[in-house]
Amino acid sequence: MKYNAALFDLDGTLIDSVYDLYISVNLTLSELAFPIASQKLVQSWIGNGIETLVMRALSGDMQISEHLDDALVKRATERFYQHYADQVGENSVLFQHVETGLSALRTIPKAIVTNKARQFTEVLLEKLALSSHFDIVVCGDDMVKKPSPVPLLFACEKLNVLPSETLMIGDSKSDVLAAQAANIDVAVLSYGYNQGETLSDYNPQYLCDNFLDIIPILSAR
């Protein structure tokens, strides 16, 4: 293949951050006298940015309730930001083989394209010593979020590569749909936060069970 650059999702792809998010969600829910949620449930809500995560938590479901009050959502989001600022990176870890894999791909231009807010992304990258592996970082509050293709195309422009020469590596439907809309090939990692979706249904170019599986894909010429 002819990939000259790689775009990576963050949560569920490089970093297992669910426990920090789980704690922050439940501190927020408890403050507002809402029922707390299980870690498994919180994990199923991750992937579309903080505002969506908070609304799913308030709804107690993946499907956001149409009856949520705007003032309540605003207050809950503000409280979540505060709690997550205190928690971010405290219990987050790299998924297996991520450090080894990124080191093996050190000569390939790389970007992170995440729906996570920049203030939390930068803390995580610093705490887990990932910053040096990436040329640019595109965050969810920089522009529109995935599944829009816009952040992926922006990353390609900054890396000075064509979308057709780029591989997106992610773990969710948002990653697949964003890549397809940008005409970028996509590799899906099965261990991440897939929101209960069977991602093979979305026809990604590659399905990988191990982070190291992406090395031969990106190394092939």
What count of other Cβ atoms lies within 10 Å of the Cβ of residue 150?
A: 17
Do 156 and 162 contact (CB within 8 A), yes or no? yes
Do 100 and 212 contact (CB within 8 A), yes or no? yes
Residues assigned a catalytic role: 9
What count of other Cβ atoms lies within 10 Å of the Cβ of residue 130?
A: 21
Query: Do you find a cis peptide bond into 147, omega within 30 degrees of 0?
Result: yes
One-letter amino acid for residue 79 of the chain? R
Do 75 and 32 contact (CB within 8 A), yes or no? yes
Do 139 and 150 contact (CB within 8 A), yes or no? no
For the chain, the distance separating the N- and C-terminal CA atoms, rounded to the nearest angstrom, is 5
Q: Give the whole-angstrom CA distance, residue 146 versus residue 132.
A: 24
Q: Give the whole-angstrom CA distance, residue 132 versus residue 126.
A: 9
Q: Give the whole-angstrom CA distance, residue 153 versus residue 117.
A: 18
